[in-house]
């Protein structure tokens, strides 16, 4: 890009999203950048200076978060741009394919994600209705609530709810819808 005139470089500069820090490992940061041509997630370890591109999704990924302990990167994968997909996770340090974050949740439109110390709560909507799922660490999800009318997790991560703990009580016992 350095062979371009300065005025043109300014318009081609990458756009960066606001970073997200891992609550228990604040040197572990996830942010989105357009430096590859579309928004993709990047993992940045401030303690070592290491930074790498995590996602290479065809439609791009605008929002993601590190796991609580900073060992993984979480995002809602939507491979076609229809906003229909699933929550996935990839290691923070390794370049390996992402795995489902929580087993047993159907694909659909995100209605929020809350990650507690031992429990994850996810909201999903499909053509048939809305549902809330809960899973203890490492176990498959089970259905908590289902209804044909809209329901989503309370919280504030983007338009789809919270991927921090905004919808969970401090002891992970209560989910707020």
Kindly state whether residues 115 and 94 are assigned to the same domain: no
Q: Are residues 40 and 72 in the same domain?
A: yes
What is the pLDDT at residue 161?
40
The two beta strands, 129-136 and 72-77, are unpaired
Q: What is the CATH number of the domain that holds 14?
A: 2.120.10.30
Same-domain check for residues 97 and 117: no
Based on the fold, state whether residues 91 and 27 are members of the same structural domain: yes
Looking at the structure, tell me whether residues 116 and 89 fall in a common domain: no
User: Locate tokens 């994968």: which residue?
Assistant: 77
pTM score of the predicted model: 0.86
pLDDT in tens, 70-84: 999 999 998 888 889
CA distance 74 to 55: 10
Q: Of 83, 101, 119, which closes a domain? A: 101
96 and 112 fall within a common domain: no
Kindly tell me if the per-residue pLDDT of 166 is higher than 90: no
Q: How many CA atoms lie within 13 A of 25 on its CB side?
A: 19
DSSP string, 82-95: SSEEEEEEEESSS-
**122-164 residue pLDDT tens:** 999 999 999 999 999 889 999 999 999 999 888 654 444 445 5
User: Are residues 164 and 157 in contact, defined by beta-carbon separation less than 8 angstroms?
Assistant: yes
**Based on the domain organization, do 94 and 109 belong to the same domain?**
no
| Number of structural domains in the chain | 2
Residue 92 CA to residue 44 CA, distance in Å, equals 9
Q: Are residues 86 and 111 in the same domain?
A: no
Tell whether 39 and 87 lie within a shared domain. yes
Are 11 and 85 in the same domain? Answer: yes
Domain range enclosing 153: 102-177
Give the residue-averaged pLDDT of 39-67: 94
**Of 71, 86, 101, which closes a domain?**
101
Residue pair 65/54 in contact by the 8 Å Cβ criterion: no
Q: Kindly state whether residues 176 and 110 are assigned to the same domain.
A: yes
């Amino acid at each position: 890009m350095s062979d371009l005139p300065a005025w043109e470089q300014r318009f081609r500069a990458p756009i960066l999203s606001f970073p997200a820090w891992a609550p228990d490992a604040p040197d572990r940061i996830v942010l989105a950048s357009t430096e590859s041509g579309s928004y993709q997630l990047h993992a940045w370890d401030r303690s070592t200076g290491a930074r790498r591109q995590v996602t290479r999704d065809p439609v791009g990924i605008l929002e993601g978060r590190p796991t609580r302990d900073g060992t993984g990167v979480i995002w809602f994968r939507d491979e076609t741009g229809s906003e229909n997909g699933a929550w996935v996770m990839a290691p923070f340090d390794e370049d390996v394919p992402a795995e489902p974050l929580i087993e047993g949740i159907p694909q659909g439109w995100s209605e929020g994600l809350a990650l507690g110390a031992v429990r994850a709560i996810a909201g999903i909507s499909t053509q048939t209705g809305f549902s809330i799922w809960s899973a203890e660490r490492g176990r498959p999800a089970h259905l908590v609530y289902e209804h044909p009318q809209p329901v989503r997790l309370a919280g504030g991560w983007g338009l789809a709810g919270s991927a921090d703990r905004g919808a969970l009580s401090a002891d992970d016992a209560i989910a707020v819808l």
